[in-house]
Structure 1
């Protein structure tokens, strides 16, 4: 009889972990940015907000989580030179801030 009670507890705990971990966003499953969309957004910001003219290319890393405070660098080619540009996630809906090329 103790094994039945132990099995029921194990099933209940496993079910709870599955619900909390995979259904409730942000616990075990995180949204991730589409790198191509971020690259387009970075290029547009550099052209339109920073008025840097022609942005030759932008390369951002894949698998970046949409988590407030997450920060990563994209590589931007401007005028033949490559420079890093910081991208900082501002909120869980995917709003991010693009820094000035360093």
Structure 2
């Protein structure tokens, strides 16, 4: 069972050095995509803050917040899916992982 303080499993280890993770071009692309998605969420949240501060229309505020929430959810599920796809989480722990973080 995964412990709450246990780090997320990482990429398979380099066979020459078990302590250093093997970083592939695919991993770099996924990290870049994740960073861009989080920047997009950050921008949406800043827009949300500006609307609130300016006394924006309630519908526009709700739209901005819903967009940020949807983008953050997509980021979360993409990341969890990546962790599960790596196969480093024992099958018995998958349900626990999904329950804890969803």
The TM tier, using the shorter chain, reads under 0.3
Q: Specify which structure has the higher proportion of helix.
A: 2
TM value normalised by structure 1? 0.26
The structure with the largest alpha-carbon Rg is 1
Higher strand share: 1
TM-score (norm 2): 0.26
